[in-house]
Structure 1
């Protein structure tokens, strides 16, 4: 099993954004030297959570010049917010800077506020994402594709610069819907999911659904014979379980609380009316909900604990059919704590391969 590092965005920037970017560079360099497979950076807009990450291509370009072997991936890129030509151009630059160390996980987007950047794309964002993913593959392969130009005419253009890699490694991001797992298999992309918010049995069923759909799907340009299942998990490895939970407990609870508040701010919520229900909770109820989520997550799905506890968790995820764990490290811990945890995790990474 591969282990990678994922940034997703804690909301504390009291030390300033410049200092936070310095932390990201330091952690990415350490992950590169310690042998991790990849660094994932997301796309987030106009939110407290994730405020450092408006453009994964831009940050990955910086990381490409600061690292040597680690892969640099968008986790995730909100496809309906962008013209596919812009995506092909930007990531071809990063691909060349990194000498072929890139990957992109595409998402449909979910928060209505993100679509300030493209309000007309919100309602049919799922259809747009599916259409543009196929188009992105064609552009990456060097195919001339027709678009409307400034004079209203149709013109065939080829994306430039040409990428270093012949194929663009693509993931589909899922928030948990079985339909998305199946769709990713049909499109023959890898898949980026998360352990949180579902039981072990539910996750096992979704992985089987994805594998079956992938095996039955026709070949796609640049797609490998088998897809990669990447699962995100909050990660902090300490000397003992007690120390890990003590150090990670406060930051993770605060992060979960901020994430719930962000969900409440979405006009439609995650599932239509969920945002309204969360928004109606009192502070005491919200605190109790966060504490419950934290305890449940510790029981299954996280990599928070001693090396032995995390070793067992990794073995369990491998048994489920997981190929890679994207270790979510920036949920509020200090950079020094994250770096210490990564050193311990590197030993587990070598064992897990």
Structure 2
């Protein structure tokens, strides 16, 4: 099993100001250098807009370009890129730059987008965002391989264009991001992309069923340019490895609960959610929800504990059919704690 490092962001509401976000980027660079040195497979950076959670991640291509200059071997992946917010040709151009800077270390996980506020950048793309994402994913795959695409130019005429610069790699490793919907797992298999999911929000049995349906759909699908014979299942998990279970839970409890409170409030404010945007949650409701979520992470799906506890959790995920765990490390712990946890996590790779 591969182990990667996932950034997602946990910032207090007043994180900006003089030096605030600059310090966060310093932390990201330090963690990236350590992950590269310790032999982790990839660095995943998200795309987030206009929210407290993930304030420093508006553009994974831009940040990955910086990471390419301070790392040597670790892969640099968007996890995730909200494709309906972007012209696919621009995505191809931006990531081709990163691919050249990194000498072929890029990968993209494509997301449909979920929060209505993100689509301030492209309001016309919100209603059919799922269809746009899957359509443009296939186009992105083709133009990366050098196939011209036809578009309307400034005069209204149709022209064929090929994005430049040409990428370093002949094919683009692609993932599809899922928030848990079984239909997205199956769609990823039909498109023959890898899949980026999460352990949270579902039982072990539910996750096993989704992985099986993905494998079946992938095996039955026709070949795609650059698609591997077998898709990679990558699962995100909140991660902090400490010397003991007690230490891990004590140190992670405050930061992770604060992160979860912010995330729950953000989800409730999504006008595109199933209820059209919930009313503001009370303090008691926020506390109850975050306490429940934290206990659930400790029970299953998280990597918060001693090396032995986390080794057992990783073995369990491998048995389910997981190929890679994207370890979500920046949920509020300090830089030194994150780096110490990565050192312990790196020692667990033996035998996985």
Both proteins in one fold, TM over 0.5: yes
Deviation, structure 1 residue 59:
0.3
Superposition TM-score, scaled by structure 2 size: 0.97
Task: Give matches, 1:1-353, under 5 Å.
Answer: 1-12=1-12, 13=15, 16-269=20-273, 272-273=274-275, 275-276=277-278, 279-352=279-352
Deviation, structure 1 residue 275:
3.8
Deviation, structure 1 residue 293:
1.1
Q: Is the 8 A contact 1:81 1:117 kept in 2?
A: yes
Deviation, structure 1 residue 110:
0.5
Segments of structure 2 that go 5 or more residues without pairing to the other structure are: none
Segments of structure 1 that go 5 or more residues without pairing to the other structure are: none
Superposition TM-score, scaled by structure 1 size: 0.97
Deviation, structure 1 residue 351:
3.2
Per-residue deviation, residues 101-151 of structure 1 (Å, max 9, x unmatched)? 010000000001000100000000001011100100111011111100011
Once residues 37 and 103 of structure 1 are traced to their aligned partners in structure 2, the CA distance between those partners, rounded to angstroms, is 12
Per-residue deviation, residues 301-337 of structure 1 (Å, max 9, x unmatched)? 0000000000000000000000000000000000110
Per-residue deviation, residues 71-113 of structure 1 (Å, max 9, x unmatched)? 0000000000000000000000000000000100000000010
Deviation, structure 1 residue 350:
3.2
Deviation, structure 1 residue 264:
1.2
Paired residues in the alignment total 348
Once residues 248 and 351 of structure 2 are traced to their aligned partners in structure 1, the CA distance between those partners, rounded to angstroms, is 21
Q: Is the 8 A contact 1:36 1:349 kept in 2?
A: no
Greater than 4 Å deviation, 4+ residue runs: none
Q: Is the 8 A contact 1:264 1:274 kept in 2?
A: no
Deviation, structure 1 residue 280:
5.0
Per-residue deviation, residues 156-185 of structure 1 (Å, max 9, x unmatched)? 001100000000000000000000000000
Once residues 100 and 119 of structure 1 are traced to their aligned partners in structure 2, the CA distance between those partners, rounded to angstroms, is 33
Once residues 35 and 349 of structure 1 are traced to their aligned partners in structure 2, the CA distance between those partners, rounded to angstroms, is 9
Per-residue deviation, residues 55-83 of structure 1 (Å, max 9, x unmatched)? 00000000001000000000000000000
Q: Is the 8 A contact 1:30 1:339 kept in 2?
A: yes
Once residues 272 and 129 of structure 2 are traced to their aligned partners in structure 1, the CA distance between those partners, rounded to angstroms, is 14
Q: Is the 8 A contact 1:43 1:77 kept in 2?
A: yes
Once residues 269 and 281 of structure 2 are traced to their aligned partners in structure 1, the CA distance between those partners, rounded to angstroms, is 13
